[in-house]
Structure 1
Amino acid sequence: MKILVCVKRVVDYNVKVRVKADGTGVELANVKMSMNPFDEIAVEEALRLKEKGAAAEIVVVSAGPAQAQETIRTALAMGADRGILVKAEGRLEPLAVAKLLKGVVEAEKPDLVILGKQAIDDDCNQTGQMLAGLLGSAQGTFASKVEVADGALNVTREVDGGLQTVGLTLPAIVTTDLRLNEPRYASLPNIMKAKKKPLEEKDASEFGVDLTPRLEVVKVAEPKARQAGVKVGSVDELVSALKGAGLV
């Protein structure tokens, strides 16, 4: 089985995001960037499937600026075999990314595509579903467990009412949830080896996809600061305070 893993370069989750002074977006200059945490889980799951003998090759793909090479190299250091960077500048919306990934999937013909359920920068949670729709493939979203069985997949999904297990025929798309696994750290020797692993660059124009954003960002602003709480001496005071605030 051949697995394609999609990763995204985002502001590191440990960094406090700062809004630009003009309110047009968040500050990215001189900010630490890293792989989207949900995509790290996707890479880890692909590696575990390979270690179980269920997969023969893991290809990592990312769409974005040239700096996204670093994100792909991180996945290669974790254990992936080779990488593909689709170079594209500017803001990429989920539909554009899904169309680019569709082109990569059609060229690579993987049996399984794994990606994070959402990115921590835009929180859209759309790319995996859109990709499955464009390809007409089976999909298992919000996966908390993935098992290979007789050339198919059993995916346990986290849903509002608990857990749901679905059987998927290959080729399929799987999006990962937080509880699927704990990603490994790349060792120093593997980081050095990753520099020599093949990383192919493609230009987004090769896929004939219109990358023009369909949404306009009107304004980006900091959330309002939380107000301090108020101590009350009794239940009656609490009820009175809630009524005064119009909450009951």
Structure 2
Amino acid sequence: MKVLVPVKRVIDYNVKVRVKADGSGVDLANVKMSMNPFDEIAVEEAIRLKEKGAVSEIVVVSVGVKQAQETLRTALAMGADRAILVVAADDVHTDIEPLAVAKILAKVAEEEQPGMIIAGKQAIDNDMNATGQMLSALLGWSQATFASDVTVEGESLKVTREVDGGLQTISVKLPAVVTADLRLNEPRYASLPNIMKAKKKQLDEKTAADYGVDVTPRLTVVKTSEPAGRAAGITVGSVDELVGKLKDAGVL
């Protein structure tokens, strides 16, 4: 079974994000960029399924700017077999919206005919949490979101999902779209030999126009601002005073 794994280039999760002075967006100048952490988990899960013999080929795909080649090379170094870069923007500040990404991924899926698509549940830059669900609807495939455990059982998947009330285990028919949650696995580090091998692996470059998808934004960012600073704490003199203040605040 072939697996398709979408990955996104985002600001590294260790970097403190800076907002532009005019409030028009986030400053990306000289900022370290990395693979979206949830997508990294999705790549790791695909590799683990391949190691178990349930998957024969892993294809990673990224939709965005040319610089996303670095992200795809990282996925190839982890263990993916080949990559597809769909160039849909020239400016690194341009964020391709979930619906446009889902439409492009649907076209890629029609070409590649994977048995499963594993994606991160959301990207940490916009937190949309929508692409996987939209992709499932466009393809008419089963979906299993927020997965914390995935097992291939013949022509179906057994997936444990993280929901508000705890854990939910479902069975979905293949082909299916799965979105990875934080506790699905812990991604591996790419070894130096694999990083060198990744440079020779196949990476095809296409454009959104090749798939006939319009990526014109439908949303307008009105304003971007940093969270308000936290107020300074206070020192209490006793446990009774602490309990009293917690009661006054409605915590107890």
TM above 0.5, yes or no, is yes
- 1:59 to partner: Cα distance: 0.3
Count of aligned positions: 248
Amino acid at match of 1:173: V
2:181 aligned residue (177, 181, 184): 177
- 1:91 to partner: Cα distance: 2.1
SS in 1 for 2:187: coil
Q: Which residue of 1 aligns with 2:75?
A: 75
Q: Which residue of 2 aligns with 1:218?
A: 222
Q: Which residue of 1 aligns with 2:169?
A: 165
SS in 2 for 1:67: helix
Confirm or deny that 1:146 pairs with 2:150.
yes
Q: Bigger shift: 59-68 or 216-225? A: 216-225
Q: Which residue of 1 aligns with 2:121?
A: 117
Q: Which residue of 1 aligns with 2:136?
A: 132
Q: How does 1:40-59 map to 2 (within 5 A)?
A: 40-59=40-59
Moved over 2 A (4+): 231-248
Q: Kindly tell me: are residues 164 and 244 of structure 1, through their superposed partners in 2, closer, same or farther at Cα, counting changes over 3 Å? A: closer
SS in 2 for 1:114: strand
Q: Which residue of 1 aligns with 2:112?
A: 108
**Contact between 2:8 and 2:39, CA under 8 Å: does it hold in 1?**
yes
Whole-angstrom CA distance in 2 between matches of 1:34 and 1:48:
21
2:209 aligned residue (181, 186, 205): 205
Q: Kindly tell me: are residues 239 and 130 of structure 1, through their superposed partners in 2, closer, same or farther at Cα, counting changes over 3 Å? A: same
- 1:240 to partner: Cα distance: 6.9
Q: Kindly tell me: are residues 18 and 162 of structure 1, through their superposed partners in 2, closer, same or farther at Cα, counting changes over 3 Å? A: same
Q: Kindly tell me: are residues 242 and 56 of structure 1, through their superposed partners in 2, closer, same or farther at Cα, counting changes over 3 Å? A: closer
- 1:231 to partner: Cα distance: 2.2
Amino acid at match of 2:140: G
Once the two structures are superposed, residues 140-172 of structure 1 have per-residue CA deviations (whole angstroms, 9 ceiling, x without a partner) of 000000001122110000111111111111110
Whole-angstrom CA distance in 1 between matches of 2:98 and 2:124:
13
SS in 2 for 1:202: strand
TM-score when scaled to structure 1? 0.95
Once the two structures are superposed, residues 66-90 of structure 1 have per-residue CA deviations (whole angstroms, 9 ceiling, x without a partner) of 0000000000001100000000113
- 1:236 to partner: Cα distance: 6.6
Amino acid at match of 1:24: S
Whole-angstrom CA distance in 1 between matches of 2:148 and 2:248:
44
Q: Percent identity?
A: 72
- 1:235 to partner: Cα distance: 6.5
Confirm or deny that 1:191 pairs with 2:195.
yes
2:231 aligned residue (205, 222, 227): 227
Q: Bigger shift: 16-25 or 236-245? A: 236-245
- 1:233 to partner: Cα distance: 3.0
SS in 1 for 2:190: coil
Q: Which runs of 5+ in 1 are unaligned?
A: none
Q: Which residue of 2 aligns with 1:24?
A: 24
Once the two structures are superposed, residues 26-55 of structure 1 have per-residue CA deviations (whole angstroms, 9 ceiling, x without a partner) of 111111100000001000000000010111
